Each structure stands twice: as structure tokens, then as C-alpha cells.
Amino acid sequence: MTHATADYLHSPREVQFLQQCRDARLPEPEHQRVICGHHVDFAWPDAWVCVEIQGGSWTRGAHTRGGGYAKDRMLNNRRQLAGWTVLEFTSDHLDADEAVPVVRQALEQRSLQ
């Protein structure tokens, strides 16, 4: 898997998160890595940390309602049981600059930082 570049990002929120990570000088994440059979938005595989950006939390996106929400919860459970630290952030977290400190803490706990 390649490192994330703006050309491959799926949403403005993914671009925003990646820029925040770069501004904070975090290690470069992989983008759209397959974990437990499905893609995650960002991953630091050496640390077993992955991030999902939940961009549709205020617009009733597919991942925030009904079957999509339930499927994502079970998938994240499987990722955690496989040893991954799964972090999820909404646009509110990105706008408040709350995501990067949490990612940094997870990477430090997994001894990558």
C-alpha cells in the first residue's frame, strides 16, 4: 500500500486529517489499507493503529445509520480482536484539532513515535 497523497484521498475531511498529521510531524500513514477484509481510511501498520474518518455524522451518511452503522461496529470489533487500535473521528474532532493528539498517544503507546 502506498502512502497517502491528496490525489488518492476520498474526501475533503481525509485531506484535512492527513494535513493535520503532516503538520504535527506524525509518521506518514498508509491510505486505504485492507484490514480484516475491508479498507480503513488511514493506518500505521507497524504500530497496529488505524483511523476511520466519519464524515457523514451530521448528514446522515451511510456509515451513521441503520445497517451501515451496525456493519461498521462489528468490523471495528473484529479489527480490535485482531490486535488493531481503531480510532474514529468526525468532522467536529478534525475542526477542533482533537484527532492528532489521540493518534499521537496511540502511536506512542504502540512505540512508533
> Residue 63 pLDDT more than 50?
no
Is the residue at 103 inside a domain? yes
Q: How many CB atoms lie within 10 A of CB 77?
A: 12
Position 16 in a domain: yes
Domain range for 55: 6-109
Task: Work out the burial of residue 21: count CB atoms within 10 Å of its CB; fewer than 13 is exposed, 13-18 middle, 19 or more buried.
Answer: buried
Residue 83, domain member (yes or no): yes
pLDDT at 69 over 50: yes
Domain-embedded: residue 48: yes
DSSP structure string for 71-100? HHHHHHHHHHHTT-EEEEEEHHHHHTT-HH
Q: Is residue 1 part of a domain?
A: no
The answer to whether residue 95 sits within a structural domain is yes
Q: Is residue 86 part of a domain?
A: yes
Q: Is residue 18 part of a domain?
A: yes
Give the whole-angstrom CA distance, residue 8 versus residue 14. Answer: 10
> Kind and range of the H or E element at 111?
none
- Stated pTM of the model: 0.81
Which pLDDT tens digit goes with each residue over 3-61? 555 555 678 999 999 999 999 999 999 999 999 999 999 999 999 999 999 975 545 55
99 vs 70: CA distance, rounded Å? 23
CATH of the domain at 71: 3.40.960.10
Taking only the tens place, the pLDDT of each residue in 88-100 is 999 999 999 999 9
- When divided into structural domains, the chain yields a total of 1
pLDDT higher than 70, residue 2: no
